[in-house]
Amino acid sequence: MNRRRGAIATVCMAVLALLWLFPLLWAVLSSFRDYAYTQAHGYLSFGGWTFDNYQRVWRDADLGKYFLNSLIITVPAVLLTLFLSSLAAFVLARFSYRFNLAMLGIFLAANLLPPQALLVPVFRIYREVPLPMAMSDTGQLLGSYWGLIAINVAFQIGFCTFVLSNYMKTLPFEIYEQAQIDGASVWRQYWQLTMPLVKPALAALATLQTTWVYNEFFWATVLLGGQGDKFPITSALNNLRGQFFTDYNLLSAGSVLIALPVVLVFFVLQRQFVAGLTLGSTKG
C-alpha cells in the first residue's frame, strides 16, 4: 500500500518536474536553431542547428552594453543595501530602545508597499532634483543610475534589516558586555565584532538581493525611460523585442543569455539563495 503510494508520488513528481523544466529547455533548444529552417519546417522538425543566434543577438542587440548597465546598477545597490541595513539591524539587536518596534514596522511595511503606488511622486521628485552633468547626462535624478540605485536600496532595506537584526539577536549578548568593559566603541562593536559573525547571513542576502536587483523591471523601465540606452538587461530585452526580434530563435538566444547569470548564481550559490529566502526559519 505504502509502496504503491510512493511509486505514484515518484511518477507524479517526475512528470511535474519535467513539465516545469520544459519551457526553459525549449528556449535553449530554439536558441540553437536556424530561423530559415524552422520557418520552412516548423518547430516540430529536427535539424537546422546553429550557433549564429548567439553571435547575432550579442552583436545586433548590443547586449554587452546592457549587461554592463546591469552591473553598474546591481553591484552598488546590493552593497549599499547590505551596509545600510546592517547598521539599522545592529542598533535594533544591540540596544532596546523604545522606537525599535516602530522602526522595524516602518521598514518592513515599506518593503511590502506596491511600488506603483509611489510612482507619481517619485517620478516627479526625480525630475525636480538636479544632478551635475558629470553624474547624470540628463542633468537630473530622473534617467540616472543614481536614482535607480537609490530607489532599489530604499525598497530592499526593510527586508534585509529584518533578516539581519533577527540573525544578530541570536548572538550571545555577553560579547557586547565584554566589549563594553574592554572599552570598545559602538562602531567597533558593529564593525569588528558583529559584522564578522553575521557573514553567513550577509552572504545569503547578497545572493538573494543580487538576483532581485538584476531582475528588477518596474523602476528601471519607468525611471530610465527615454531611449533606453541605460536600461539594465532585464528591461532592455523588452525594448529590443520590438526592434529586432521578430525572429523567435533570436529571442530565445537573448533570453538564455539574460537568464545565464542568475541561473549560474542559482547553481553555484543555491544554498545561499535558499537560506536567504528562509533564513532563520529552521529552529536551531
Partner 1 sequence: MTSTDPDLVPPARAGRRPSRRLPWRDRAVVIAMVAVPSFFVLSLVWFPAVLSVILSFGSWNGIGDVDTIQWIGTQNYQDIATIYPPFWPAVKHNLIWLGFLFLGPTLLGMFLAVVLDRNMRFSRFYQTAFYLPVVLSLALTGFIWQLMYSRDQGLINQVLGTDIDWYGDPSVNLWAALVATAWRHTGYIMLIYLAGLKGVDASLREAAAVDGASETKTFFQVVFPVMRPINMIVVVIVVIESIRAFDLVWVINRGTNGLELIGALVAQNVVGEASRYGFGSALAVIMMVISSVFITLYLRVVFRQERER
In this structure, the number of other CB atoms found within 10 A of the CB of residue 252 comes to 22
Site map (CB under 8 A) of partner 1, residues 119-148, x = contact: xxxxxxx-----------------------
DSSP state of 115: G
* 197 in contact with partner 1 (CB under 8 A): no
Least spacing, CB of residue 3 vs partner 1, in Å = 12
Minimum CB distance to partner 1 smaller for 75 or for 268: 268
Tell which one of 171, 193, 195, 203 touches partner 1 (CB under 8 A). Answer: 171
Residues 227-266, interacting with partner 1 (CB under 8 A): 234-235, 237-238, 241, 248, 251-252, 254-255, 258-259, 262-263, 265-266
Least spacing, CB of residue 135 vs partner 1, in Å = 18
Least spacing, CB of residue 42 vs partner 1, in Å = 6
Tell which one of 185, 243, 268, 271 touches partner 1 (CB under 8 A). Answer: 185
Burial class (CB in 10 A: 0-12, 13-18, 19+), 153: buried
Q: How far is CA 251 from CA 16, 47, 108, 208, 263, in A?
A: 26, 19, 38, 26, 18
Burial class (CB in 10 A: 0-12, 13-18, 19+), 28: middle
* 181 in contact with partner 1 (CB under 8 A): no
Residues 60-79, interacting with partner 1 (CB under 8 A): none
Q: 195: which 3 cell numbers?
A: 559584522
Amino acid occupying residue 242: G
Least spacing, CB of residue 132 vs partner 1, in Å = 20
Task: State the Cα–Cα distance between residues 31 and 255, nearest whole angstrom.
Answer: 9
* 58 in contact with partner 1 (CB under 8 A): no
